Amino acid sequence: MSTTLTVRKKLPRLRLNFDWRLLFVPVLGLVIYIVWVQVVESGRYPAFILPHPHAVWERFIELVDSGSLVRHVAVTTREALTGLIAASILGVILGYIIARVRLMDYLLTPYLIFLQAIPIIAISPLIIIWFGSGYTSKAIIAGLITWFPMLISTIVGIRNVSPELRELMKANVASPLQILWHLEIPSALPELLGGVKIAVTLSVIGAAVGEFVSAREGLGYLVFFGRSASDTPLVFVGVFLLTALSLLLYGLVAWLEYMVLAWRRVQN
């Protein structure tokens, strides 16, 4: 009897905690699949323009069976994460300097905005020429496309730190390192992690762009090779995998943000 009552007490809580928005993903996927099949079977578009979903799935299975899919995914992931980490370090350091030193803000900001205005896809061939067609050039391209969000999020986060709290720590003879570690970093974490969420998806785009220009492996290479060989199902596989990789990395950062900022939810 007591067990039954305990189960009944827990059921409403489970209902309240269930996020019904999770049902939207499979429903949306089913709708896209149905529409896709209907359009293909209508005969309006040839297979080399819009392949059947089953043809795309079969091409995906071929890559899995051949063992090459894991290698392509691993290459793109490595390039994207390397560029993201390097760009994050650079963006955070520059952002902190600009946020804390007014003179550096005056001197550096116009040139940094100028660098950001340069289209990465336009200079990608030059980067390939300068650094070769290997892993390094792809990581550099991924870094160039991700450093600016980290720069801006760092500037915004540091400038939003309470001046009163900073002065209070100085009055208590706190060192600059103690102020950075105990005040500025915790206060700026929401903006920093928000910048990482933007940058992590851009890093995948940057790695793919580099692979479009020159590569022999990677998801971007699959898309480029499929287009060159008129293998449209392979192009779809590459695009879907790039999207899935971006969503996976974004989800990992979102989970990290949820765990790291748990103290903010406790305070609220």
pLDDT tens track for 183-227: 888 889 999 999 999 999 999 999 999 998 888 899 999 999 999
Q: Can you tell me which residue has the tokens 């993201």?
A: 84
The one-letter amino acid at 110: P
Note the pLDDT of residue 30. 87
Q: Is the pLDDT of residue 1 over 80?
A: no
The DSSP output letter for 133 is S
Residues 201 and 246 sit within 8 Å (Cβ to Cβ) = yes
- Report the percent of the chain where pLDDT is more than 70: 90
Note the pLDDT of residue 90. 94
Note the pLDDT of residue 265. 63
What Cα–Cα distance (Å) separates residue 108 from each residue in 90, 99, 184? 14, 11, 22
Residue 132, phi-psi category: left (phi > 0), alpha (psi -120 to 50), beta (remainder): left
Q: Is the pLDDT of residue 169 over 90?
A: no
The DSSP output letter for 257 is H
* CA distance from start to end of the chain: 38
Report how far Cα 197 is from the mean position of its chain's Cα atoms. Answer: 6
CATH topology of domain 63-267: MetI-like fold (1.10.3720)
Residues 206 and 120 sit within 8 Å (Cβ to Cβ) = yes
Note the pLDDT of residue 7. 44
pLDDT bin (cut points 50, 70, 90) of residue 268 is low
Q: Which residue has the higher pLDDT, 207 or 23?
A: 207
What Cα–Cα distance (Å) separates residue 131 from each residue in 126, 214, 216, 224? 9, 12, 16, 21
The angle formed by the CA atoms of residues 67, 68 and 70, to the nearest 5 degrees, is: 85
Average per-residue pLDDT for the chain? 86
Across 65-93, average pLDDT = 93
Across 81-109, average pLDDT = 92
Note the pLDDT of residue 14. 44
Question: 28-72, pLDDT tens digit by residue?
Answer: 888 888 898 898 888 888 888 889 899 999 999 999 998 889 999
Out of 5-14, 45-54, 167-176, pick the least confident.
Answer: 5-14
Closest-CA residue to 239 (of 255, 222, 217): 222
